[in-house]
Structures are given as structure tokens and as C-alpha cells.
Amino acid sequence: MKQLIINADDFGINSSANNAISDLFLKGAISSATLMTTMGSSSLEAIDLAKKHNIPVGLHLNLTLNNNKYKNRKSFEMAYIFGRVKKGYIIEELSRQFSFLIDHGIKPTHIDSHQHIHTWPGIFKIVAKF
């Protein structure tokens, strides 16, 4: 039996995305979501909605938006291209964001990343090993 999984990312980015993702799940249009943990009250709102509606949630690893070190994709990209993003930083950030979900009662079912950063050479190996 084949199963189609439709995942909505950016859960936690803002209230309007949170409400849309929650509504889509309740309507059966998506089967899961991945949650950004670095968006303050929007992240906490998404966690509450996930718990309330039993939405399967994964981690939407975020290294490029509202991040404590890189303000946007361009700043992360430039640092990465010039070798200034250390493996230890990525491991630490992945662990911190994963632990945030665990600490808030969410057991992540999967991992992807904001702007597909997990597919970049070097980063993919770290995420896959994690």
C-alpha cells in the first residue's frame, strides 16, 4: 500500500500561517507540518495548535530567518560559501531547535529545513546523521 504524505512547512512563522496550516490539517488536505522554533510567540502558538489538533509535527530547521546568528538567507549563504559556518554551530543549532520541541511536549516525527538548507553539501550529512 502506497501512502501520500503532504507536509506543510513554516508552521510557527506567523499567526496567519499557523491558522492556515491548522485549518488544512483539520480539512484533511495535509498530513503533517514542520515547525520553526525560532519565531517567538508564533512558534509557541503553533505548538499549542499542534497539540490541540494532534497534528504530526517535525522540525523545520531554521538557520536563515530570525536566527540568533544570521539575520537572513543572504548573510547565512555568504558565511557558508566563505567557510565561516562551522559544523559545530550547525549541530548545536539543530540540537537546540530539536530540544525546544521536546521541551514543549512535541516529539518531532521528521526534519526538513527552511529554504531547503538541509540539502546543501555538508549540511545534509549533519542533518542525516542527527
Residue 81 contacts residue 48 (beta carbons within 8 Å): no
pLDDT of residue 113: 94
61 neighbors 110 (Cβ within 8 angstroms)? no
Give DSSP secondary structure letters for 10-39.
Answer: EETS-HHHHHHHHHHHHTTS-SEEEE-SSS
pLDDT at 65: 85
Digitized pLDDT (tens) for each residue of the chain, 130 residues in all: 888 899 999 999 999 999 999 999 999 999 999 999 999 999 999 999 999 999 999 999 999 887 778 888 899 999 999 999 999 999 999 999 999 999 999 999 999 999 898 999 899 999 999 9
Cell representation of residue 105: 511536549
